[in-house]
Amino acid sequence: MADISKYFLVVYAALIGGFVYAPISTMVLFSFNSSSRTVPPFDGPSLNWYNAALGSAQIVDAFTRSLLLGVATTALATALFTLAGLAYRKSFRGGSFFFYLIAVGIIMPGITYSLGLELFYGSLRVPISLWTALPAHLIWTIPWGLILVRATIDPNMLVYEDAARTLGASEARVMRHVTLPLFLPAIIGGALFAFTLSFTDLVRSIFVTFPDTLPLQIYSLSQLRVAPDIFAVGSLIVIVSIGLLLVASYFLRGTLRRLSL
Amino acid sequence: MPSEQGSRNLSSYLLIAPTLAVVVVFLVLPLILVLRVSFLQHVPLGYTEQLTPDNYDFVFTNEGVRNTLAFTIETASIVTAGSLLLAYPVAYFLARKVMSFTVKTAFLVFLLIPFWIDFTTRSLAWIPWLGTQGIINDVLLAVGAIKQPATIFLYSSFAMDLVMVQAYTLFMVAPLFISMSKIDPILYEAAQTLGASRLRTFLHINLRLTLPGMGIGCVFVFLASLADFATPKLIGGLVTSIGELIRDNVTFVNLPNASAISALVVVIALAVLVLTFRLAHVEQIFE
């Protein structure tokens, strides 16, 4: 009985994986199409659309901007949500209210928020640039990391910290050798999430970004036409990120093994 | 030691201060501005400082706005229900049946990768499946289920719902997974020892204790679909969403109208949030 439900769930998880990956796999396939068709039949392999995408300064520049913004967002958001998360090891007056205030960033409908930020910059006469999108991305990504870090906290943490202190560890050593390792999975998860959300954000950036990031660029291109060069960009992102992940997991395998204990 | 308590509390405030500063300047102030502009008089290419209820008058009496809002709320409800049904077994499987941390992480990362592709491409990637010459139509024609290619799969509300469910399911899986991981396994044993059936165990332990996770996931998915202007535009065909309505008003530089519709959406969002969090006891996820 237990086994049947387990197999059922394995199959179900595989189906969900299939649902998520079905369009991705055909996207990769049609990015190699020699014609401009994006529906079957497949007209034979070619790298035409990759040449088109990589040869387009519009797309390459937009990609570079997205990467820059994504890295900056990840670095800043990770620092901020880690600090904020550490505050919640102890309960403090206003803590719950502050948490919900920060969480408004993910609850707020994106387009409304983007409009608000545009009005804000407008009233201060700040010209819209790539970096005016940075606060929008921070407001969007910090709460996710904070939720992850706060969900990791359990009462034992303070006991471990006190034990280390009793054994004569300095505050800096407690932080480095006890507190941060306990939070590391949540911090890494939050950072990964932050990059993902920033790199792909369209809705929150729409009124506060100039020139276009990759999602904005592709959105405006797609209003004119749907050609496999858009699929080529998507496929490159998938292929490169799977490659990066494999490399990262190779280097992090020691840490991963320790975490699973 | 009250002084120790005091200093620890102080350190909490110092730790959270930078984030709060960012939130107050870049979130609270912009939202106050939306509210303010929603009460200002629209003039071509801008607005004056003249206070007026006209924008709200437009929002509440215009039939187009009302229909669009109703349609968007309907869509958001369908998408939320769909994501919950899809995500719950996945989270259950990951949290309860997969023991290895590495496998758990690997599966979550595997689910995450498609989300590094931008939103538009991810929506358009469905075209090879849903198009009139797409795979689904090909299969249905081949098995004789239909006589001619069906057009309802692409550029329809069906396509829009499907793409949104795919886009937002991850946001449902994550909080469900967190709240399910926090259930102490001893509760299952206790329930079984006391003679509870598997169904009862599931209902009273799993479902009850994952309510906070469901609450967060549902609120997120509902609000994300409520504000989504891109999916309806890209793949929904002739539908209009409330997000698109806001965007059109910004494009035609009617910021007061855009703000008034936005304010309405924010009120709906807050109502959904407060109601769900109350019903689902969301605070429990952090205890």
Chain A nearest-CA distance from B195, in A, is 16
**Residue spans per domain, chain B:** 67-286
Q: What is the pLDDT of residues A85-137, one digit of tens each?
A: 999 988 889 998 999 899 889 888 888 999 999 999 999 999 999 999 999 99
Residues A84-96: b if buried by 16+ CB within 10 A, e if exposed: bbbbbbeebeebe
Sign of the Cα torsion B212, A256, A142, A159 reads positive
Residue A123 in contact with residue B33, Cβ under 8 Å?
yes
Locate all alpha helices (DSSP H) within A201-227, ordered by sequence. 214-224
pLDDT computed for residue A254 by the predictor: 62
The residue type found at A214 is: L
In CATH terms, B67-286 corresponds, of 1.10.3720.10, 1.10.760.10, 1.10.240.10, 3.40.50.360, to 1.10.3720.10
Residues of chain A neighbouring B22 (CB-CB closer than 8 A): 80, 135, 138-139, 142
Residues of chain A neighbouring B28 (CB-CB closer than 8 A): 101
Q: What pTM was computed for the model?
A: 0.85
B76 HSE (CA, 13 A, CB side): 27
pLDDT computed for residue A57 by the predictor: 92
How far apart CA B287 and CA B285 sit, in angstroms, is 6
How far apart CA B170 and CA B116 sit, in angstroms, is 12
Residues of chain A neighbouring B162 (CB-CB closer than 8 A): none
| Residue A252 confidence class, pLDDT cut points 50, 70, 90 | low
DSSP string, B109-147: HHHHGGGGS-HHHHHHTTHHHHSTTSHHHHHHHHTTS-S
How far apart CA A86 and CA A179 sit, in angstroms, is 9
Q: Contact A109/B262, CB-based, under 8 Å?
A: yes
How far apart CA B22 and CA A77 sit, in angstroms, is 10
pLDDT at B6 over 50: no
Query: Which residue in B19, B97, B262 is closest to A83 by CB distance?
Result: B19
What does DSSP assign to residue A46? -
**Residue whose structure tokens are 């187009």:** B64
**CA triple B167-B170-B173, angle to 5 deg:** 145
Average pLDDT of span A193-200: 87
The residue type found at A113 is: Y
Q: Contact B33/A119, CB-based, under 8 Å?
A: yes
How far apart CA B164 and CA B119 sit, in angstroms, is 10
Among all residues of chain A, which has the CA nearest to that of B92?
A: A9
ipTM of this predicted complex?
0.87
Query: Which residue in A6, A39, A90 is closest to B128 by CB distance?
Result: A39
Q: What is the pLDDT of residues B187-217, one digit of tens each?
A: 888 888 888 888 888 888 888 888 988 998 9
How far apart CA B165 and CA B158 sit, in angstroms, is 11
pLDDT at B25 over 70: yes
Residues of chain B neighbouring A96 (CB-CB closer than 8 A): 283
| Ordered structural domains, chain A, with CATH | 57-260 (1.10.3720.10)
Cα dihedral B21/A200/B234/B263 (nearest 10)? -10
CB pairs under 8 A between A and B: 271
